[in-house]
Amino acid sequence: MGLARLIEAHKQEVLVRWKELVRTLTDARKLSDASLEDHVPELLDWLAKRLRERASTDDYGSQMLSRVHAFQRVCEHFDLVEVLAELAVLRETLLGLWVEEPEGVTPSEVLHLNQDLDDVVTVCTTEFARRALALRGASEAAAETMGH
């Protein structure tokens, strides 16, 4: 529960740090704060909940939030590399928080956080590719077969 508590207690700080680092990415510089953040606050809430409730089958964070984020970034003409960089910066920011305040955080919590973030990256990558193919005229059937 230590890592979940850290994420919840430092949520705004995590968002500020994340935005500062992500703003150094080429495509992210042009976004408004609201567009940049889009679903990151909800994703942080979901990650904290997953850390508390490992038996939870709530896939909302790795499914819906990742899909919406990918769709928005495709529409904003982001490159997939930059989308993945945004998620890598989020991971780095959260792990940095743990390094700064390691008391009460177990190694298994860090492992679970990484697994959940890996799921988010997988869904986001697949959805981004599907949307990009669809926008470029690939058949719906071809786009749908990605990730299966």
Our count of domains for the chain comes to 1
Domain range for 135 is: 2-144
Q: What is the three-class DSSP state of 106?
A: coil
Give this prediction's pTM. Answer: 0.84
pLDDT recorded at residue 79: 82
pLDDT tens track, the chain, 148 positions = 699 999 999 999 999 999 999 988 877 778 778 777 878 899 999 999 989 987 666 666 667 778 887 888 887 888 888 889 999 999 999 999 999 999 999 999 999 999 999 998 998 888 888 888 887 776 555 545 555 5
Residue position matching structure tokens 């590399």:
81
* Residue 68 belongs to domain with CATH number: 1.10.490.10
Q: What is the three-class DSSP state of 38?
A: coil
Q: Cα–Cα distances in Å, from 128 out to 29, 45, 80, 84, 121?
A: 20, 23, 7, 10, 10
How far apart, in whole angstroms, are the C-alpha atoms of residue 140 and residue 128? 14
